[in-house]
Structure 1
Amino acid sequence: MRRRASDFHDEMDRRRSVRMLADEPVPRDLVEQAIRTASTAPSGAHHQPWQFVLIGDPETKRRIRQAAETEERTNYEGGRINEEWRRELEPIGTDWHKEFLEVAPWVVVLFEERFGVRPDGSKRHHYYVKESCGIAAGIFVTALHHMG
């Protein structure tokens, strides 16, 4: 048990966030497997209040990039980001440009579902939606890292 814990820690300690992505093909089935793995995440009342959407269409990725850059430009230039936050981001080198959204072979979007629908058609409230989606997102990233 200790060895497995140590091995897992070592693997996760090697994980790094990257801002530059290769445009090399990534097999769709591997990304789908990571989504299935993420969907095993614990969630409030086990409602699994999320939908993962896998996007590879270049035009859709272009439109996502345009929308993201519009919002991010407002963040950076429109005052949503205060000076302290801006200083924290400076060493990372991020700005409002999001070229990676078109370069990456796939864009995976995680949508939260605040409510679901019961078999009888009535509305069902989901619990701890943001927390549940955060856990699922973390497992998704971990699954991708584990794949190499």
Structure 2
Amino acid sequence: MYSKTEAHHLRQAFWTTFGQYMQPVPSAEGLPTNWINYKTGLRHVYFRLHADGKRARVAIEITHRDAGLRELYYEQFRELRPMLEDVTGETWTWEPAALDDHGQAIARISQELTPVNLFSRDDWPQLISFFKPRLLALDEFWSTGQYAFDELR
């Protein structure tokens, strides 16, 4: 078991390492991108990366407080599901009603990897190999898919 400080430092070291690894990789549009804090340009829609001592997850999270609007965004993503799964080459998990880390209602579309441990440096190559292609695929998907949300902006 790690102390809070050790866990914080390992978490920080992993995300710094991953950010440095991804820094030279341009977006689908050829632009420099902050991959760790990816900007979708759409309020309440985030690409989230999560890793802990048991699992890793790449997710699209819709965080709008209004349940009706959150559902509208989610349904728009459902329309784009064939394109998302074609670009990623995977079937994703679709959760119209999930909770975030703070207990707030969200909608989530995700891929998960288990078992994997962020706190074991031996698992870092596996984590990077999980995150990188999915994040690049999400970026490729979003480079064209974002326009389907123009009316919701």
Alignment TM-score, normalising by the size of structure 1: 0.38
Relative to its length, the structure with more helix (as a share) is: 1
Q: Computing the radius of gyration over CA atoms, which structure comes out larger, 1 or 2? A: 1
Relative to its length, the structure with more strand (as a share) is: 2
